[in-house]
Structure 1
């Protein structure tokens, strides 16, 4: 951390802003992910999603942590209570510090997952992770949500409802689009975490995200951490792109 602080002082962003950005290692093979994370200067957090985890297995979490990185394990657990509890227990034992579960699994499953995550971390001497409940994926648009899933609630109603269900079950935060952050932050003050994908710096392609916002705007709205992938991972100069995103949080 001391080396990180020295490096950040020499650049245009702070260690605090680096802690706010989680870089998604989506679309990378294991060797690519490890090489990338090792070469981005000032990087603190990485996201391991389903594709990378299925290919690399649990070892990738340990390897990233050996690089001094903090890991957001984004596997979006959604199952019966006992299965969700077992998965969260093992994920916490790996040292993942943020772990996603689906809010629509229901209160019993969420409570079981939270209890098991604490047990898993304590059994291996890890930090107790924060579970993040997924409300509505940022790829969903309201009309398609209603048409394909027959959900009559609009996104503006469904997201806060699922967030409240999660908070009542003891979950420490939510994943939501940046467009829902302001309303959720008014409903759930810190330390309830709001982690937002769908972040696109000015000029970056939107890709498959339907509800997006810039880094500075999302933080001003009340986000705790931002998940940014392709604008950094596919940049010609990934360290420069990461530094630009971090610097934007200081404006």
Structure 2
């Protein structure tokens, strides 16, 4: 069972170091746009030197040549996982994969954000199929483009597993404990439900980072995720 991925939703290196000091084991952490745009590649290198795995969550979405060139740069950082928006298209996803050639970085594609519900997808994106159909289409396109998996909600993980296989990564944010609040997420689930539905990775942010005892909350989520 893969470790829960902790979303480092902080704005400074100092906050990250203070948070990581609360743990006495190697973690799998997510560095997103807020943190990366404040601190840049040097922070990523620093976290790697501490022995942690990194999901660099920048959601690239641009023309294929630009994304390929950007991925060549990100490949040098040695992160474990990074991503693009599937909405960028098949050619863009293939270009992103080429940019990572020769590295061990796995590439996944964002399908529909877990802050998006079906009504928003219809009105804002003018996509008139069901949300589940849209996510499944993006997942199949990502697999055809040679990507390693997708970001999706727990609600779509089972269908993607059936369509794309057990080994195709299903990275699911929006994870909350049963007594947690949803915040700005629309499609949320518990670690136990994610495990049952076929998620290969879960991403947990505020349930850990805002906890009075982050290490204990992490342990609780990790145990529920692993079925203990």
* Match of residue 182 from structure 2: 206
SS of equivalent to 2:76: helix
Distance in 2 (CA, whole Å) between partners of 1:182 and 1:42 is 31
Aligned to 1:239: 215
Q: CA RMSD in A?
A: 1.2
Match of 1:53 among 32, 36, 40: 36
CA contact (8 A) 2:69 2:99 kept: yes
Matches within 5 A, 1:116-195: 116-119=99-102, 121=103, 128-195=104-171
Where structure 2 has 5 or more consecutive residues not aligned to the other structure, the ranges are none
Pair 1:20 & 2:20 matched: no
Tell me the secondary structure at the aligned position of residue 186 of structure 1: helix
Aligned-pair CA distance for 1:210: 0.2
Deviations 1:22-50 (A, max 9, x none): 00001342210122123223342000000
Structure with the larger helix share: 1
Name the SS of the counterpart of 2:143 in structure 1: helix
Deviations, residues 76-117 of structure 1 (Å, cap 9, x unaligned): 000000111111111121011100101111111111110111
CA contact (8 A) 1:198 1:211 kept: yes
| Corresponding residue for residue 98 of structure 1 | 81
Where does structure 1 differ by over 3 angstroms across 4 or more consecutive aligned residues?
A: none
For 1:140 and 1:184, how far apart are their aligned partners in 2? 18
How far does residue 170 in structure 1 lie from its aligned partner after superposition? Answer: 0.2
Unpaired runs of 5+ in structure 1?
1-15, 122-127
Cross-structure match for 1:250: 227
Per-residue CA deviations over 1:190-246 (Å, capped at 9, x if unaligned) read: 321110001001111110100011001101111111000000000000000000001
1:150 Cα deviation from its structure 2 partner: 1.5
Report if aligned partners of 2:26, 2:51 keep a CA contact under 8 Å in 1.
no
TM-score (norm 2): 0.96
- Of 90, 115, 118, 1:107 maps to 90
Q: Does residue 32 in structure 1 map to residue 15 in structure 2?
A: yes
2-side partners of 1:40 and 1:154: how far apart? 41
- Which stretch of structure 1 is more off in the superposition, 132-141 or 40-49? 40-49
Q: Secondary structure at the match of 1:114?
A: helix
Asked if 1:78 corresponds to 2:61, the answer is yes
How many residues are aligned here?
227
Counterparts of 1:166 and 1:56, CA distance in 2? 30
